[in-house]
């Protein structure tokens, strides 16, 4: 199995874009697609520009977990709504998204882990989520393996969906509702007139619109910065592997402190190492080092520092920070941000899987890939108007858990764009929480 979305994938939504719209959405990941979806539902004329392919980046490369469990409490109201949206999404889209409420299991590898998991259940109780604490034997009954597991927590209502199937199908359904999607169409810059947004300059020409949504995933900070807007966002590389089909030992998603697995609809498992990522140093990483220090300290054991990102990455040493809308920009130079997976990590996943499930042995790997996870210093997204640039709304920095919450963030962002009450407290997601940073 090759990773299913690449620059070789046919363009399903060709250009050029129309000359005008009510709203332009930048980015065809789950956040951009679902924001456009909700706007179109209200009769808003939306153009969505994607520099590469729909869901080519994080939105297809993720683990596919749709979870409430373990989230920051600030996100829980939107996540609870997202889960209820997911439940009706296949019917609304008229297509299978691989959505299944098969539960999420967090397993403890000792007393410290167990205490942290148990502490989180207070948030579940406060929000009426069905999370349960499991004993060692309850974990063993649920997931027949052993890697020194001492107990865990379990949320039966948590779910999964198939990322590289779901988001492209949602985009097709959004297009059927009137969203004008254009792939291979990088937005080079905002068109700003008299201090406010008047449209976007794309590689296929200008689109006039007085409202624009920036949902550019790992590219959002680079884009914002060219307009003097500071977004303290960084990205890390995370490696994932898909096993060939294997017997079902567990239908849902589970993780201990060392590795994570999810049973896919095609009968294989999606595997990853828990809390392991590569941090490429670049100009933004240096500039933001102090801001990120608490996060770096917390994750130090799982962070591998690399002196430089590969060419053309958003925080590459030679990636331009300024450009004109007339020429090629960094967005066209990297249509799909597709980092190489780390083969050593894939081998470790196989080892850990085999050690935990000796009956299944070392799994055959059908595909391995990596994604750049975009994050904010407090691991919470930015969902806000850009005060300094009237007309611009930002929905980015999903910090490694934007797939599951995506439909909820899309609904909220569409309300923000429309000037309606978003129905949730968005104070934790304000851009101004980072102060003024450029």
Ligand X SMILES: Cc1cc2nc3c(=O)[nH]c(=O)nc-3n(C[C@H](O)[C@H](O)[C@H](O)COP(=O)(O)OP(=O)(O)OC[C@H]3O[C@@H](n4cnc5c(N)ncnc54)[C@H](O)[C@@H]3O)c2cc1C
Among 401, 407, 417, 424, binds ligand X (CB under 6 A): 401
Residue pair 134/152 in contact by the 8 Å Cβ criterion: yes
Q: Produce one character per residue of 223-233: b if its CB has 16 or more CB atoms within 10 Å, e if not.
A: bbbbeebbbbb
Burial class of residue 274, CB neighbours in 10 A (0-12, 13-18, 19+):
middle
In angstroms, what is the C-alpha Rg of the chain?
Answer: 21
**187 belongs to the binding site for ligand X (CB under 6 A):** yes
Using the minimum distance from each CB to ligand X, give the nearer residue, 146 or 241: 241
Helix (H) or strand (E) run with residue 82 in it:
helix 76-93
The alpha helices in 260-370, defined as continuous H runs, are: 283-287, 289-298, 330-333, 343-356
Using the minimum distance from each CB to ligand X, give the nearer residue, 51 or 258: 51
Strand pairing partners for 202? 187, 205
d(CA 28, CA 167): 9
**400 belongs to the binding site for ligand X (CB under 6 A):** yes
**81 belongs to the binding site for ligand X (CB under 6 A):** no
Using the minimum distance from each CB to ligand X, give the nearer residue, 51 or 117: 51
For CA atoms 86, 87, 91, 92, the dihedral sign is negative
Strand pairing partners for 238? 371
The torsion of the CA quartet 279, 35, 20, 176, rounded to 10 degrees, works out to 120
Cα–Cα distances in Å, from 45 out to 159, 262, 365? Answer: 32, 38, 44
Least Å distance, CB 135 to ligand X, is: 26
Using the minimum distance from each CB to ligand X, give the nearer residue, 161 or 361: 161
Least Å distance, CB 359 to ligand X, is: 26
Using the minimum distance from each CB to ligand X, give the nearer residue, 11 or 140: 11
**70 belongs to the binding site for ligand X (CB under 6 A):** no
**35 belongs to the binding site for ligand X (CB under 6 A):** no
Among 403, 413, 415, 416, binds ligand X (CB under 6 A): 403
Q: Which stretch binds ligand X (CB under 6 A): 15-23, 131-139, 204-212, 215-223?
A: 215-223
**56 belongs to the binding site for ligand X (CB under 6 A):** yes
C-beta neighbour count of 301 within 10 angstroms: 7
DSSP string, 155-195: ETT-EE--HHHHHHHHHHHHHHTT-EEESS--EEEEEEETT
**50 belongs to the binding site for ligand X (CB under 6 A):** yes
Neighbouring residues of 122: CB distance < 8 A, sequence distance ≥ 6: none
Strand pairing partners for 69? none
**62 belongs to the binding site for ligand X (CB under 6 A):** yes
Least Å distance, CB 29 to ligand X, is: 2
Using the minimum distance from each CB to ligand X, give the nearer residue, 29 or 363: 29
Among 25, 31, 93, 181, binds ligand X (CB under 6 A): 31
Least Å distance, CB 371 to ligand X, is: 3
Instruction: Scan residues 310-329 and list those touching ligand X (CB under 6 A).
Output: none
Q: Which stretch binds ligand X (CB under 6 A): 20-28, 121-129, 302-310, 347-355?
A: 20-28
Among 63, 99, 279, 429, binds ligand X (CB under 6 A): 63
Least Å distance, CB 63 to ligand X, is: 3
Residue pair 200/182 in contact by the 8 Å Cβ criterion: no
Least Å distance, CB 378 to ligand X, is: 15
**216 belongs to the binding site for ligand X (CB under 6 A):** yes
Among 24, 30, 39, 47, binds ligand X (CB under 6 A): 30
Residues that bind ligand X (CB under 6 A): 26-32, 49-52, 56-59, 61-65, 186-187, 215-219, 223, 238, 240, 331, 371, 373, 396, 398, 400-404
């Amino acid at each position: 199995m090759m990773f299913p979305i690449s620059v070789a994938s046919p363009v399903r939504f060709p250009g050029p874009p129309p000359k005008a719209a009510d709203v332009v959405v930048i980015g065809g990941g789950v956040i951009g697609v679902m924001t456009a979806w909700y706007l179109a539902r209200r009769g808003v004329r939306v153009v969505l520009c994607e520099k590469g392919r729909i869901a080519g980046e994080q939105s297809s490369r993720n683990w596919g977990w749709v979870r409430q469990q373990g989230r920051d409490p600030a996100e829980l109201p939107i996540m609870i709504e997202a889960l209820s949206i997911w439940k009706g999404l296949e019917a609304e889209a008229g297509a299978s998204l691989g959505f299944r409420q098969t539960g999420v299991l967090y397993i403890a590898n000792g007393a410290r882990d167990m205490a942290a998991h148990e502490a989180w259940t207070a948030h579940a109780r406060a929000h009426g989520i069905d999370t349960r604490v499991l004993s060692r034997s309850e974990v063993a009954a649920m997931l027949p393996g052993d890697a020194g597991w001492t107990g865990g927590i379990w949320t039966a209502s948590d779910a999964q969906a198939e990322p590289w199937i779901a988001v492209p199908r949602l985009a097709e359904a959004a297009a059927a509702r009137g969203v004008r999607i254009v792939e291979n169409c990088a937005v080079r810059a905002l068109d700003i007139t008299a201090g406010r947004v008047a449209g976007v300059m794309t590689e296929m020409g200008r689109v006039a619109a007085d409202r624009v949504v920036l949902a550019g995933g790992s590219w959002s900070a680079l884009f914002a910065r060219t307009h003097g807007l500071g977004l303290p966002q960084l990205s890390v590389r995370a490696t994932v592997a898909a096993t060939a089909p294997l017997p079902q030992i567990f239908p849902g998603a589970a993780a201990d402190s060392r590795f994570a697995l999810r049973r896919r609809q095609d009968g294989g498992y999606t595997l990853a190492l828990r809390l392991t990522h590569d941090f490429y140093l670049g100009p933004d990483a240096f500039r933001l080092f102090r801001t990120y220090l608490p996060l770096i300290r917390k994750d130090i054991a799982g962070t591998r520092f690399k002196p430089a990102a590969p060419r053309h990455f958003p925080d590459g040493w030679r990636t331009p920070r300024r450009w004109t809308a007339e020429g090629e920009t960094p967005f066209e130079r990297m249509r799909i941000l597709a980092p190489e997976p780390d083969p050593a990590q894939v081998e470790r996943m196989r080892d850990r899987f085999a050690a935990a499930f000796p009956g299944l042995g070392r799994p055959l790997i059908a595909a391995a890939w990596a994604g750049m996870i975009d994050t904010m210093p407090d691991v919470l997204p930015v969902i806000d108007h850009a005060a300094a640039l009237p007309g611009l709304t930002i929905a980015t920095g999903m910090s490694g858990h934007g797939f599951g919450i995506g439909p909820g963030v899309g609904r909220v962002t569409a309300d923000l764009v429309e000037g309606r009450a978003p129905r949730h407290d968005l104070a934790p997601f304000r851009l101004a929480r980072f102060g003024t940073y450029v």
